[in-house]
């Protein structure tokens, strides 16, 4: 918290948030604030690397001019700048920071040399690219690739549901093809701090180049609509037992954005809960990784114990996040009605699947 300490640092790594604002435009205020403070205290011969997810050209067109202005120093002469995208998969038991290759793009050869020598102290493999904007595009490509494919399978899952086709069976069959197919799985929507946001960073910069990213735009908006489709599925399930959403007791299983972690950023579960509470449902949730959540600004909910009592008292159980540690057998046995958005339940009757 004491930015004056930057004056004695040889290397400075920027890892601040880059959210979207209310108009789905990149909020660069955290990066700007960090760079202003860096410029104020920067010493000669320092190295700066941005790791925050952002749109291509940020390092060259925003960071460098800002730091030069605030410090009075010159990039490539007095300090060196690079971009290296964060690559993190929370909950992954195989790949961690050390054994995940690190992509780096710098403005000049000296920047690359410094970056390589810094990061190879902690990371096994370094892969360099020709510029910061190429490295920035790497991050966008990785996450947009996943967004488009998950949005595709989500849209096909919705259609399959209308046609009486089990999309999970279809995916398992398609996986038997030994080439040309990679399995992606449907769910209530994509959460986390990267994949739902990255397409909008790219869309923002593409407009400056008078380029329309129609495919990426569509994928982003399919993902944004998924919580609404999930609400309709929940309402349809309740209608099957002659109940409305209002005053129905609904137990949500899992509120983190992906299995086996405690991160709720951009979690689809929270969006579904907010819609259900707005429509008058009585909500409980169970998540062994998340003790409490805040809905409607100041209203808090606390994780309930998964028990025969709460399951039998609930009109509907909705499986939103399929943590491995959850006892699905007791859910299958005791729940009156299930909406399974993750293919976690083995029950054959009184169940609605995505």
pLDDT at site 299: 85
Euclidean distance between CA atoms 334 and 317, whole angstroms: 10
Banded pLDDT at 197 (limits 50, 70, 90): confident
Euclidean distance between CA atoms 2 and 117, whole angstroms: 27
From the list 305, 322, 325, 326, the residue with the least C-alpha distance to 314 is: 305
Evaluate if residue 345 carries a pLDDT over 90.
Answer: yes
The answer to whether residues 322 and 185 touch, using CB atoms and an 8 Å cutoff, is: no
Based on the residue annotation, tell me whether 320 is a catalytic residue of this protein: no
Average pLDDT over every residue of 66-81 = 97
pLDDT at site 20: 86
Long-range residue pairs from 220-223, CB within 8 A, at least 24 positions apart, any chain: 220/147, 220/151, 220/196, 222/151, 222/154, 222/155, 223/147, 223/150, 223/151, 223/154, 223/189, 223/190, 223/196
**Percent of the residues in the chain that have a pLDDT greater than 70, as a whole number:** 100
Q: Which token pair is 19?
A: 């959210």
The answer to whether residues 298 and 292 touch, using CB atoms and an 8 Å cutoff, is: no
Euclidean distance between CA atoms 77 and 39, whole angstroms: 15
Cα-Cα end-to-end distance for the chain: 46
Alpha helical stretches, state H, the chain: 29-41, 58, 64-71, 109-119, 132-163, 167-174, 198-208, 214-239, 268-278, 308-313, 328-334
pLDDT at site 232: 96
pLDDT at site 203: 87
Strands 292-295 and 46-50: unpaired
**Percent of the residues in the chain that have a pLDDT greater than 90, as a whole number:** 87
The owner of tokens 């967004």 is: 147
Q: Is the pTM of this model over 0.75?
A: yes
From the list 184, 186, 191, 196, the residue with the least C-alpha distance to 290 is: 191
pLDDT in tens, 17-65: 998 888 888 999 999 999 999 999 999 999 999 999 999 999 999 999 9
The owner of tokens 């995940």 is: 100
Q: Count CB atoms within 10 A of the CB of residue 300.
A: 9
* DSSP notation for 282-319: EEEEE-TT-SEEEETTTEEEEPPP--HHHHHH-SEEEE
pLDDT at site 90: 84
Beta bridge partners, 293, equal: 301
Euclidean distance between CA atoms 278 and 296, whole angstroms: 9
Q: Which token pair is 103?
A: 């992509």
In sequence order, which residues have a C-beta less than 8 Å from that of residue 323 and are 6 or more positions away?
A: 254, 256, 259, 260, 287, 288, 289
Beta bridge partners, 348, equal: none
Beta bridge partners, 318, equal: 252, 339
In sequence order, which residues have a C-beta less than 8 Å from that of residue 180 and are 6 or more positions away?
A: none
Please identify which of the residues 9, 15, 49, 194 carries the catalytic annotation: 194
Evaluate if residue 193 carries a pLDDT over 90.
Answer: no
Banded pLDDT at 66 (limits 50, 70, 90): very high
């Amino acid at each position: 918290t004491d930015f004056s300490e930057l004056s004695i640092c040889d290397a400075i790594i920027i890892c601040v948030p880059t959210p979207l604002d209310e108009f789905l435009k990149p909020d660069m205020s955290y990066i700007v604030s960090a760079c202003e403070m860096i410029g104020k205290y920067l010493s000669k011969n320092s190295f700066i690397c941005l790791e925050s997810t952002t749109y291509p050209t940020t390092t060259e067109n925003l960071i460098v001019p800002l730091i030069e202005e605030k410090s009075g120093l010159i990039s490539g002469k007095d300090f060196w700048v690079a971009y290296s995208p964060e690559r993190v998969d929370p909950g992954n038991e195989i790949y961690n920071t050390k054994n995940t290759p690190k992509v780096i793009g710098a403005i000049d050869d000296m920047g690359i040399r410094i970056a390589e020598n810094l990061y190879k102290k902690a990371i096994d493999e370094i892969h360099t690219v020709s510029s910061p904007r190429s490295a920035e595009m790497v991050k966008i490509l990785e996450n947009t690739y996943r967004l488009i494919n998950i949005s595709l399978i989500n849209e096909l899952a919705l259609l399959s549901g209308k046609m009486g086709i089990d999309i999970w069976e279809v995916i398992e069959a398609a996986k038997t093809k030994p080439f040309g197919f990679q399995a992606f799985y449907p769910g209530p929507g994509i959460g986390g701090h990267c994949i739902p946001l990255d397409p909008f960073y790219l869309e923002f910069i593409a407009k400056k180049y008078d380029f329309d990213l129609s495919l990426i735009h569509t994928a982003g908006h399919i993902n944004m609509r998924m919580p609404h489709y999930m609400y309709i599925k929940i309402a349809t399930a309740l209608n099957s037992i002659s109940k409305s959403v209002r005053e129905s007791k609904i137990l949500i299983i899992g509120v983190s954005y992906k299995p086996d972690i405690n991160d709720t950023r951009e979690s689809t579960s929270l969006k579904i809960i907010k819609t259900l509470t707005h429509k008058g449902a009585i909500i409980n949730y169970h998540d062994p990784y998340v003790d409490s959540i805040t809905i409607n600004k100041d209203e808090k909910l606390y994780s309930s114990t998964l028990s025969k009592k709460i399951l039998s008292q609930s009109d509907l159980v909705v499986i939103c996040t399929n943590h491995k540690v959850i006892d699905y057998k007791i859910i299958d046995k005791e729940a009156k009605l299930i909406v399974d958005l993750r293919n976690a339940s083995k029950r054959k009757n009184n169940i609605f699947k995505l």
